[in-house]
């Protein structure tokens, strides 16, 4: 069963455009790294339209084991520490209960 990593983030200093760019670059680099990991399916970093200081990281994995293995890697943990310096957030791991897709 697929595992989903979701992390809503809010910039600690929303007026600091350099921090926003740093955050986006750091998470984009992490996403590129994750893409090369076994069991990776999808990654997205999205930003709120109405509150641009608010972001959401969304990553989908084949299962919980491959997700936990990937996020335990030292290079991922160091990027995560940097993200925590710039933001407030509380990552969570979810399992897919149901889903719908567009008809073919």
CATH of the domain at 15: 3.30.70.100
Model pLDDT, residue 36:
92
User: Which are the contacts of 41, defined by CB distance < 8 A and separation ≥ 6?
Assistant: 2, 60, 61, 62
Model pLDDT, residue 99:
85
Given a contact cutoff of 8 angstroms between Cβ atoms, the answer to whether 26 and 14 are in contact is no
User: What's the rounded Cα separation, in Å, for the pair 51 and 30?
Assistant: 23
Predicted confidence (pLDDT) per residue in 74-103, tens digit: 988 898 999 999 999 999 999 988 888 888
In a domain, 45, yes or no: yes
In a domain, 104, yes or no: no
Predicted confidence (pLDDT) per residue in 1-54, tens digit: 899 999 999 999 999 999 999 999 999 999 999 999 999 999 999 999 999 999
Model pLDDT, residue 101:
84
Q: Read off the pTM.
A: 0.89
Whole-angstrom CA distances from 13 to 6, 55, 58 are 21, 13, 22
Please say whether the dihedral angle defined by the alpha carbons of residues 58, 97, 51 and 71, taken in this order, is positive or negative.
negative
In a domain, 14, yes or no: yes
> What is the chain's Cα-based Rg?
14
Model pLDDT, residue 94:
96
Total domain count, the chain: 1
């Amino acid at each position: 069963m697929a595992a989903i990593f979701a992390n809503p983030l809010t910039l600690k200093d929303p007026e600091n455009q350099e921090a926003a760019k740093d955050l986006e670059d750091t998470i984009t680099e992490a996403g590129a790294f994750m893409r090369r990991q076994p069991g990776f399916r999808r990654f997205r970093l999205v930003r709120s339209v109405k509150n641009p200081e608010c972001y959401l990281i969304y990553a989908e994995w084949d299962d919980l084991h491959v997700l936990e293995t990937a996020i335990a890697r030292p290079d991922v943990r160091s990027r995560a520490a940097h993200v925590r310096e710039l933001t407030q957030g509380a990552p969570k791991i979810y399992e897919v209960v149901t889903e719908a897709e567009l008809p073919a």
